[in-house]
């Protein structure tokens, strides 16, 4: 497949340093560049904020041109950060290099900013000027903070609907967006009656780059990226449906990946993800030269929003043990009766991987000393048990946390053991809204509730139907709400005393002029892990 030979480490360090904004060139180097048309068609984005820094992203790409239309040479860019959208009060500026090895993307890491402050930013390449983006730094970790307002979202399948939800999200007055996976889909999408992505199956680095360029060309998605900083993790479709760690998945179609080297495909997908996300260069540096052999691209992390919230961003795919007891023993996922699966309770199996688990539980051990009001886990899927069988027995989905029961117990045991304050789990993946309590033992309905969960619907991706949603809800009493039809996002507002969650949904993802409305509202009082309908 089309995976370039990784550059040597010295060149990689130089390239990532240049991309991160460490370059110093004469004015003529960037001001004399010429383009036949607008090279900023994929917009701008920001992310990975701390109390004194943020990552600024763009990728030079000319729509409709082969390979992005920029050529095979590095392009110098200038960037600016200002207090105002007119850039009359400049804060910082610098130069960076968009290199062909990274698809002419840049990830400028701007340091030395003031905490808890909004900024504006833009890029320049020759006479071309990018759109203006708005970003912010987080408060200092020891700062008393009155409010955090974030949206959580996931699963935007091009062929299933328009991305209009992002347009409405711009009106939510957010501090940050938490994106929980399935930013792109790898399918050909040829059966869609709405719109098709084109290009066939996504297998090579060029394929993944083209698919990201298609998605990022969407005006509503692009505008939301320019509105506030994003925190991002991935799920399976950034690579292949239902893949687990180094094992290929099953797209449910005639996916030709069985004829390719899956690790090479995964490496291409990971590189393309980095090239299109506002994340730090250290994410790529650790693994690029060995990704095709299974090396790590670490994306899990903890961020502090003053003393109000600790945000744990988790990776639920890269280190995942393969699913067990699939129907017909095929790769991918199935609904399983645990009573017929000897491997179901194997204590060695993990969804997060042993290293990420150790890191997370060490973080939980330090949570009390940080005295944070809320501890928020952003991860790709549904945490709580979801039994699809409404009579006796159980039928559980083996690709989510239900398929890794021992690992889930380790997670809830650690939260309880370390007395982590006010755990809140945010998820996606299932294309449905699920709201409920996190239980210490899902086998015992009367066990202690130790936190709350809000698993969100999709931006556009279809659900399986939802005709039995009410029955399934009744069979899983730790959940208090489900909606299996509507598409959109969730907004969570944190204060020291409580959180409020609003489920926002569009009327019809098949219409570009669709309206937004509130599906439901919920509140949780600090110190009381019970979801209440507002």
Q: Is residue 68 part of a domain?
A: no
Whether 271 and 291 have beta carbons less than 8 Å apart is answered as yes
CA 406, chain centre distance (Å): 25
* Tokens encoding 178: 């938490």
Give the CA count within 13 Å in the CB-facing half-sphere of 52: 4
CA distances from 312 to 150, 294, 304, 452 (A): 14, 24, 9, 15
CA neighbor of 383 nearest in space, from 430, 317, 332, 334: 430
Asked, for residue 511, whether it belongs to a domain, the answer is yes
* Geometric angle at alpha carbon 168, from 163 and 173, rounded to 5°: 130
As beta bridge partners, residue 44 has: 58
Is the per-residue pLDDT at 105 higher than 90? yes
The pLDDT of residue 135: 98
Specify the pLDDT at position 189: 85
Residue 125 lies in a domain: no
H/E element, 212? helix 205-216
Q: How much is the mean pLDDT over the chain?
A: 92
Q: Is residue 347 part of a domain?
A: yes
For residues 238 and 240, give the distance between their C-alpha atoms in angstroms, rounded to a whole number: 6
User: Once rounded to an integer, what is the mean pLDDT over residues 489-504?
Assistant: 98
The answer to whether residue 79 sits within a structural domain is no
pLDDT tens digits, 17-62: 655 655 555 555 555 688 989 999 999 999 999 999 999 999 999 9
Query: Whose CA is closest to 378, among 47, 134, 150?
Result: 150
In the numeric block, the tokens 């290293």 are attached to 355
Here the contacts of 22-28 (C-beta below 8 Å, separation 24 or greater) are 22/96, 23/76, 23/94, 23/95, 23/96, 23/97, 24/95, 25/76, 25/95
147-178 pLDDT, tens per residue? 999 999 999 999 999 999 999 999 999 999 99
Q: What is the pLDDT of residues 175-219, one digit of tens each?
A: 999 999 999 999 998 888 899 999 899 999 999 999 999 999 999
Looking at the predicted structure, is the pLDDT value of residue 225 above 70?
Answer: yes
Q: Identify any residues that bridge with 98 across adjacent strands, giving them in sequence order.
A: 75
The pLDDT, as a whole number, for residue 233 is: 98
CA dist., res. 136 & res. 48, Å (int): 10
Q: Nearest-CA neighbor of 231 among 494, 47, 58?
A: 47
Residues sharing a CB contact under 8 Å with residue 418, sequence separation 6 or more, in sequence order: 361, 364, 365, 367, 368
User: In whole angstroms, what is the distance from residue 324 CA to residue 244 CA?
Assistant: 11
pLDDT single digits (tens) 438-450: 999 998 989 999 9
| Enclosing domain of residue 445 | 148-181+300-534
**How far, rounded to the nearest angstrom, does the alpha carbon of residue 502 sit from its chain's CA centroid?**
20
Q: Is 268 helix (H, G, I), strand (E, B) or coil?
A: helix
SS3 61: strand
Closest CA relative to residue 322, chosen from 236, 204, 260: 236
Question: CA 107 to CA 98: how far, in whole Å?
Answer: 9
Total domains in the fold of the chain: 1
Report the 10 Å Cβ neighbour count for 350.
Answer: 19
**CATH code where residue 170 lies:** 3.60.21.70
Q: Is 418 a domain residue?
A: yes
| 348 within some domain | yes
26 within some domain: no
Q: Residue 2 has what pLDDT?
A: 43
């Amino acid at each position: 497949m089309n995976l370039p030979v990784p550059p040597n480490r010295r060149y990689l360090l130089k390239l990532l340093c240049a991309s991160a904004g460490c370059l110093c060139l004469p004015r003529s180097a960037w001001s004399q560049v010429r383009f036949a048309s607008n090279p900023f068609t994929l917009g701008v984005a920001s992310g990975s904020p701390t109390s004194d820094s943020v990552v600024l992203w763009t990728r030079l790409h000319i729509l409709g041109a082969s390979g992005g239309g920029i050529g095979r040479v590095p392009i110098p860019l200038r960037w600016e950060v200002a207090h105002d959208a007119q850039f009359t009060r400049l804060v910082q500026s610098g130069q960076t290099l968009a290199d062909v090895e990274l698809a002419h993307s840049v990830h400028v890491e701007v340091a030395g900013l003031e905490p808890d402050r909004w900024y504006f930013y833009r890029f320049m390449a020759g006479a071309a000027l990018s759109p203006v983006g708005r970003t912010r730094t987080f408060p200092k970790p020891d700062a008393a903070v009155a409010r955090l307002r974030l949206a959580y979202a996931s699963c935007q399948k091009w062929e299933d609907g328009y991305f209009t939800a992002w347009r409405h999200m711009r009106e939510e007055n957010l501090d940050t967006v938490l994106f929980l996976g399935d930013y792109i889909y790898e399918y050909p999408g040829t059966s869609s009656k709405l719109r098709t992505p084109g290009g066939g199956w996504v297998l090579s680095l060029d394929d993944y780059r083209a698919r990201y360029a298609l998605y990022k060309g969407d005006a509503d998605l692009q505008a939301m990226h320019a509105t506030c900083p994003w925190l991002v993790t991935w799920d399976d479709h950034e690579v292949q449906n239902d893949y687990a760690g180094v094992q290929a998945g099953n797209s449910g179609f005639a996916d030709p990946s069985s004829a390719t080297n899956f690790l090479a495909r995964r490496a291409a997908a990971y590189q393309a993800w980095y090239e299109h996300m506002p994340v730090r260069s250290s994410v790529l540096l650790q693994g690029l030269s060995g990704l095709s052999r299974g090396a790590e691209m670490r994306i899990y992390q903890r961020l502090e929003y003053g003393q109000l919230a600790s945000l744990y961003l988790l990776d639920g795919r890269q280190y995942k043990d393969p699913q067990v007891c699939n129907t017909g023993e095929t790769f991918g996922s199935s609904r399983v009766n645990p009573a017929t699966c000897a491997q179901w309770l194997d204590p060695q199996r993990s969804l997060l991987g042993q290293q990420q688990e150790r890191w997370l539980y060490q973080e939980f051990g330090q949570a009390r000393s940080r005295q944070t009001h809320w501890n928020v886990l952003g991860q790709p899927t549904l945490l709580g048990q979801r039994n699809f069988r409404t009579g006796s027995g159980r039928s559980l989905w083996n690709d989510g946390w239900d398929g890794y029961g021992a690992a889930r117990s380790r997670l809830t045991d650690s939260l309880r053991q370390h007395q982590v304050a006010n755990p809140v789990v945010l998820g996606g993946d299932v294309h449905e809204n699920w709201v409920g309590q996190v239980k210490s033992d899902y086998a015992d309905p009367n066990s202690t509730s130790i936190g709350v969960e809000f698993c969100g619907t999709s931006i556009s991706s279809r659900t399986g139907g939802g005709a039995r949603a009410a029955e399934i809800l009744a069979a899983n009493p730790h959940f208090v709400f489900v909606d299996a039809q509507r598409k959109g996002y969730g907004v969570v507002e944190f204060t020291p005393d409580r959180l409020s969650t609003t489920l926002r949904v569009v009327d019809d993802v098949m219409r570009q002029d669709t309206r937004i409305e509130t599906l439901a509202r919920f509140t949780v009082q600090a110190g009381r892990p019970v979801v209440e309908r507002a």
